[in-house]
């Protein structure tokens, strides 16, 4: 059974948080989760970012804050053989990384609120993105432990006061669910991440959740506010949109690569969701470049 892997993290004895600088041919971390909050800055790379039920394109400059136990992964696309195509700076920390009640102090209430908002994942844009990305690069090269700590607090404060932010999951993905329910829905999304471009079966998804198909349909709609097939179609249309924008593949090939089995049905679903035909979407995107 495919399921999101639990990542056990540990901070070095002389640090209160974990800072890592990944340079890879392609991002290799599977769809996973951990109790720590995570701030990820993509220095280099492009592809798909999966956070809970959300799937979006990402590229260099992507800046995302993830709440505790929120499953996620980055999938690299168009990797050039023999080169570093994926580079990220990642900070991971627990809510008590500065002591049990530090973030409850009046001076830290904005940061505390930021962490609550991050339950469904937050993506930062515009000036906040530019400012914090520069600070993340500085943080990655800072050797003084005290300065690293101060830099992280400054980064969190900048994110906390920003209004240039997009919520990735528009419902509280984890906070309203028990640990058992979190594990159940995370297994379903792990199944989707790996299979949405292939044949997806409602019965298989229900089996992953250890439920009957009828009970699973009700459960999934309650948890995500969408039916299971609506979520599958969202994933496929999102993937097709990226292929239309960044490749010269024929629409028919993109249709099949995205998991659809019928071109006319793909056109109908794409137009219903995007309010435009696939070819018009490609043309409009390239006129904006």
Query: Which sequence spans correspond to the domains of the chain?
Result: 5-167, 179-287
E strand or H helix that includes residue 264: helix 263-274
**C-alpha torsion 111→117→118→119, nearest 10:** 130
Any residues with CB less than 8 A from the CB of 279 and at least 6 apart, and which? 251
With contact defined as beta carbons under 8 Å apart, do 269 and 277 qualify? no
Handedness of CA 96, 6, 121, 209 (dihedral sign): negative
Mean pLDDT on 155-169 = 94
Q: Which CATH architecture fits 5-167?
A: Sandwich (2.60)
Residue pLDDT, tens place only, 8-17: 555 555 678 9
- Res 5 pLDDT > 70: no
Least confident of 211-215, 240-244, 256-260: 240-244
* Topology classification of domain 179-287: Arc Repressor Mutant, subunit A (1.10.10)
> What pLDDT does residue 1 have?
40
Q: Rounded distance, CA 249 to CA 98, Å?
A: 51
pLDDT band at 285 (very low <50, low <70, confident <90, very high): confident
Length of the chain: 289
With contact defined as beta carbons under 8 Å apart, do 257 and 250 qualify? no
Q: What are 49's two structure tokens? A: 């970012």
> What pLDDT does residue 171 have?
56
């Amino acid at each position: 059974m495919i399921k999101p892997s639990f990542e056990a993290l540990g901070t070095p004895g002389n640090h209160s948080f974990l800072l890592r600088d990944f340079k890879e041919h392609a991002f290799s971390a599977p769809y996973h989760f951990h109790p720590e909050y995570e701030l990820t800055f993509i220095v280099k790379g492009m592809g798909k970012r999966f956070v809970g039920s959300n799937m979006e394109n990402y590229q260099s400059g992507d800046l995302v804050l993830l709440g505790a136990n929120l499953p996620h992964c980055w999938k690299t696309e168009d990797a050039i053989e023999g080169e570093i195509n994926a580079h990220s700076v990642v900070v991971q920390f627990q809510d008590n990384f500065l002591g049990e009640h530090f973030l409850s102090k009046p001076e830290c209430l904005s940061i505390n609120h930021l962490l609550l908002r991050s339950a469904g994942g937050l993506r930062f844009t515009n000036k906040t993105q530019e400012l914090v990305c520069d600070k993340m690069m500085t943080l990655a090269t800072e050797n003084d432990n005290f300065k690293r700590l101060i830099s992280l607090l400054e980064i969190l404060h900048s994110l906390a006061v920003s209004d240039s932010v997009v919520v990735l999951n528009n419902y509280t993905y984890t906070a309203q669910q028990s640990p058992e329910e979190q594990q159940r829905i995370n297994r379903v999304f792990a199944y989707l991440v790996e299979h949405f471009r292939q044949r997806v079966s409602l019965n298989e998804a229900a089996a992953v959740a250890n439920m009957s198909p009828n009970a699973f349909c009700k459960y999934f709609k309650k948890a995500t506010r969408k039916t299971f097939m609506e979520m599958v179609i969202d994933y496929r249309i999102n993937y097709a949109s990226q292929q239309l924008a960044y490749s010269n593949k024929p629409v028919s090939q993109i249709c099949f690569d995205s998991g659809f089995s019928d071109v006319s049905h793909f056109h109908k679903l794409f137009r219903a969701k995007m309010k435009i035909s696939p070819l018009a979407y490609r043309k409009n995107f390239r006129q904006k470049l």
